[in-house]
Chain A
Amino acid sequence: MKEVIIVKIGMADLNVASGGDSLKTTGLGSCVGLTLHDANQGIAGMAHIMLPSSDIAREGQINIAKYADTAVPELLARLKAGGANLRRLVAKLAGGAQMFAFASGSDSMRIGPRNVESTKLALASYNIPIIAEDTGGNFGRTIEFSSASGILTIRSVQNGVKEI
């Protein structure tokens, strides 16, 4: 049997995996971990999204994996290139926590919920269904996604391990 390779996704990074390999990102706080899966082809993609929209970018050359509105089309392009049928893709989401709660909630404090909203909007514009999510709360998550099973495993300090 072939050994499962775990492809590590950094912060503001994205990648795809197939052939039974897995994708993993650690320490999601307010960032959103988006996974896309084509079960027929056994191909999966994951993005570690940090900010809701590239409209707020002040960087010269933007990192498209960082923003919800640019990460989704890029991940779709990478999946298509890998042989995925875009009409069969389903999405799962995790993260988007509010790590610290403050009474005076400025916009940047609400970044987690905004990341989730923007990611959903971007997915909706491509008609990709979200079949499971574990978002919000006030805790960090580490996630791993299997290209074979499409199971998203979520680990957190407070809630242990769960699969969606």
Chain B
Amino acid sequence: MELFSNNAEFKMDVLREVGNIGAGHAATALSRLLDKPIDMAVPKVSFIPFEDIADRVGGAEEVVVAIFLRVEGEAPGNMFFLMSQYQARVLLQGLLHFELSEGPEYSEMELSALSEIGNILAGSYLSSLADLTGLPLSPTVPAIAVDMAGAILSYGLVQFGTMGDEALLIDTTFLEDDRQAEGHFFFIPDPESFERLFRALGVPI
């Protein structure tokens, strides 16, 4: 996709740094919540075919817990915090000492707690991004779903769908220190947001 006509490499680097700073703040917030160290992989910034996006989290049919929110303001986009069911249970137990309900179903209380965690993390990602760019950005109330990764992520690709069969996403992986649990942050800016992000960051367009 010809989203960036020039300086493509440099622009990808800038976006990687945007992901780094945003997700870094979110990782710090998560680490404080859990009171244990959280590692973060270097963010991946890539144009990837729609087909391959779900593979990043184990395949289109992999059941994940996803918190989705829409980023509103000057650089709108979609943000997902995706985690495995295992990770979700680790969070609930570790953070809130929930007595986990039996079976695959989550209680209202558990969903609400996970949603709030997603809200806190996404909020910290976004506020650091807003500080960095000076652009007003605000999250909508988060929505949560426990479903197939493909069904969930495809929802975030609709804006890109009108432009081609690839999307640009900033993907950051979180790992708990013992590597037992991991989660993913996906930030998928709308196609028209890139120019505003670059302009705000002083990148020649």
Contacts and interface: CB of A to CB of B under 8 A. Distances in A.
Contacts of A26: 59-61, 148, 150
Contact of A66 (B140, B149, B161): B161
Interface in A50-81: 50-51, 56-59, 63, 66
A27 B165 contact: no
A26 B152 CA distance: 12
Interface in A20-59: 26-31, 50-51, 56-59
A12 B161 contact: yes
A147 B50 CA distance: 27
B151 interface: yes
Listed residue (B146, B157, B158) with the most chain A CB atoms within 10 angstroms of its CB: B158
Contacts of B158: 30, 50-51, 108, 111
A126 interface: no
B205 interface: no
A66 B148 contact: no
Contacts of B68: 99-100
B155 A12 contact: no
B162 A59 contact: yes
Contacts of A1: none
Contact of A102 (B60, B140, B145, B157): B140
B73 interface: no
Interface in B64-87: 68, 70
A136 B61 CA distance: 18
A58 B162 contact: yes
B35 interface: no
A97 B147 CA distance: 12
B163 A99 contact: no
Contacts of A113: none
A85 interface: no
A141 B63 CA distance: 11
A104 to B, nearest CB: 7
B140 to A, nearest CB: 7
Contact of A29 (B151, B161, B165): B151
Nearest to A53: B162
Interface of A: 10-12, 26-31, 50-51, 56-59, 63, 66, 97, 99-104, 108-109, 111, 138-142, 157-158
User: 7 smallest A-B Cβ distances: which pairs?
Assistant: A27-B150, A140-B151, A29-B151, A27-B60, A100-B143, A140-B148, A26-B60
